[in-house]
Structure 1
Amino acid sequence: MAQRDGILRRRSGLPVWASIAIRVTAVLALLGLAILVHWIERDGLKDTADGHVSFLDILYFTSISITTTGYGDIVPVSDSARLFDALVVTPIRIFVVLIFLGTTYNFVIKRSWERWRMAVIQRNLSGHIIVAGYGKTGSDAVDELIARGVPASKFVVLDGDAGALARAEARGCNVMPADATRDAVLEEARIRWAESMIVAAGRDDTSILITLTARHLAPQLPISVIVKADDNEFPARAAGATTVINPVSFAGLLLASSCTGPHLADYLMDLASIRGRVALAERSVAADEVGKPLRAIATGLGLRIYRDGQPYGFAEPEAAKLEPGDTIIEIVT
């Protein structure tokens, strides 16, 4: 991954080139209007040098009028020319000055302010989701979470690829060009205050190293990691991953399911995505559910509970009576 600059970034409303183009076009349009009318009203102007007002004189006179310089060598003498200067050139002059001031604000003051603001946001980050790697898998995970209602501003994407960061920034995420395997980078992303972390670096060894670094800094942080090789699942868990996803193994399960029933794979994909008719959900047991069987919950179809780190299915005796601290896995609409 590329070197970091240590400062969080978020998408701005308008590209720099577009903002410059709009301002330049506005100034040229106003200047062109003034030149056109001055040329039409050239008989109302007097050149004290040679008595003849040429097109070059018009350009010169318009320029010094707009910039409020005014040398007095060319002056309006007719009523119409003076009226145009008073009612049209003066507002144009004000607009041009405002455009220049706006440009100064946008490219100097505003950007300094925005950089300071993002630094403040970075210093106070909490409850955010860190995404290390914004390739196909990382971006799909972010898209799915956004579809589930997580605001894009909650994500902090760490990646060294400028294209990936641009896509994440366009999605509305906070981004940081950085190497997520380094302690200092994860500290700057305030990993100790993060809600969770997704690691999808594209290489198993890099993902495992990121996981190891993150676990060292945040012992309680939920970390989800994707690995491509079966023999890397154990090292990923040993590095501290809370959840290890192997897409190859999952694809094999889907293929096996499709052999025993043509609709099983479709239903599993339906469960995995928020866009399906039903979805899997995980939550803590509610106070009014304690003592009741798992099948009696009213929020969905109870499938499994986790008690003291151990899973129990809906048909097992432990699921016949919910206890405080249980985690429920259910299917909801």
Structure 2
Amino acid sequence: MARRNPRRRIGEAPVLRHRGRTPAWVSLGWRMALALALIGVALAGHWVDRDGLRDNTDGKVSFVDVVYFTMITVTTVGYGDIVPVTDRARMFDTFVVTPVRLFVWLIFLGTAYDFVLRGVWEKWRMRNLQRDLNGHVIVAGHGTSGTEAVAELLRRGKPHDAIVVIDPHADAVARAEAEGVMVLEGDASRNATLDAVKVANASAMIVAAGRDDTSILIVLTARRLAPALPISVVIRSEDNEALAVQAGATTVINPASFAGLLLAGSTTGPHLAEYMMDLAGLHGAVSLRERAVAASEIGSPLSAITTGAGLRLYRGGQRYGFWQAEARSLQPGDTIIEVVPSDDA
């Protein structure tokens, strides 16, 4: 059962999250260590030159008096009960303790910013980033398939801030956030959630909710909000593949069918499965690429393109193989599917 986000009030628009590069406890630890080191320098200097100090209370300067004087001097301007009386002590306070005081206050203010003001700043920044989202990829569901999809997008060079993961489970969102991508804890089948990630401005959407009924509902919602958005969905039951297409999915992927295809292919030819894995993955020798026809290619056959091996073209919503008559002459507006070396892809 999905847990509700307790930080979001009813009626408040969902806000993206993006984890910073440095954990908060590491930053806090470094700041505390630096502040203590600076105070230690002042303390050591005062102790070494304690003869240059005068205690107006009892006339004796003990170690406790030095600790007290150091802390009061670093945090304030002092109370006048213990004062420097020699030129050296006064110069030490002027050129060492005063800069230490300034640095300690800067560290304090920086810490206050990080742990108090930064939350407000980050929320404002994420809202602006969320408002300006464009050309991003939305991944609905961060289970096994969604995790692999995000990892493959990153391997293919997609920027971290151009990937938005939506999942209703806090643990899945935390895993995605740890990968450095933008996340939103919520239900991707709801209009408000998809509006929050600017689904209409996305370049593509991957749906891997883990359940066919949930995935199909997400596709329906996304298709209504973004009629032209390319949507790829993972469907586990063959009976539901047609429903996913009717819901508006551009591409329907059945992991079991694809695995079966590889296994069956490996029995009829030892290199068929290897070649198919090359096409499917990033690190194979060859890759598939989709592109628009170039002006210089118009009128030429699909087999004559020089950028790769042309396999298929799309024209007017129809697909044609390289062996069909329509592929003998490329036309403006055609989309080409070709096999190219991985470095070119």
Q: Distance in 2 between matches of 1:189 and 1:266?
A: 37
Residue 206 of structure 1 is aligned with which of 214, 219, 222?
Answer: 214
Structure 1, 182-191 or 144-153: larger mean CA deviation: 144-153
Q: Distance in 1 between matches of 2:326 and 2:308?
A: 19
1:3 aligns with 2:4: yes
1:80 aligns with 2:80: no
What does 1:245-264 align with in structure 2 at a 5 Å threshold? 245-264=253-272
1:50 aligns with 2:51: no
Match of 1:325 in 2: 333
Structure 2: gaps of 5 or more residues: 9-13
Q: Distance in 1 between matches of 2:22 and 2:319?
A: 50
Deviations 1:29-80 (CA, angstroms, capped at 9, x unpaired): 1112222222222222221111222222122111111112411111122333
Q: Distance in 1 between matches of 2:79 and 2:336?
A: 83
Structure 1: gaps of 5 or more residues: none
1:222 aligns with 2:230: yes
How far 1:109 moved relative to its partner? 3.6
Q: Distance in 2 between matches of 1:84 and 1:307?
A: 81
Give the alignment's TM-score, normalised by structure 1: 0.94
Match of 1:236 in 2: 244
Match of 1:12 in 2: 20
Match of 1:132 in 2: 140
Structure 1, 50-59 or 248-257: larger mean CA deviation: 50-59
Match of 1:194 in 2: 202
Q: Which amino acid aligns with 2:4?
A: Q
Q: Distance in 1 between matches of 2:64 and 2:169?
A: 52
Match of 1:302 in 2: 310
Counterpart secondary structure, 1:8: coil
How far 1:309 moved relative to its partner? 2.8
Q: Which amino acid aligns with 2:160?
A: A
How far 1:21 moved relative to its partner? 1.1
Residue 42 of structure 2 is aligned with which of 34, 41, 64?
Answer: 34
Match of 1:145 in 2: 153
Q: Which amino acid aligns with 1:176?
A: L
Residue 24 of structure 1 is aligned with which of 17, 22, 32?
Answer: 32
Deviations 1:270-325 (CA, angstroms, capped at 9, x unpaired): 01112111101112222222221111111110112223333222122222222233
Structure 1, 105-114 or 224-233: larger mean CA deviation: 105-114
The question of whether the paired residues in 2 share the 8 Å contact of 1:2 and 1:178 is answered with no
Structure 1, 118-127 or 35-44: larger mean CA deviation: 35-44
1:277 aligns with 2:277: no
CA RMSD, 1 decimal: 1.8
How far 1:253 moved relative to its partner? 0.5
Give the alignment's TM-score, normalised by structure 2: 0.91
The question of whether the paired residues in 2 share the 8 Å contact of 1:2 and 1:177 is answered with no
The question of whether the paired residues in 2 share the 8 Å contact of 1:3 and 1:179 is answered with no
Q: Which amino acid aligns with 2:225?
A: L
Q: Distance in 2 between matches of 1:85 and 1:331?
A: 73
1:114 aligns with 2:122: yes
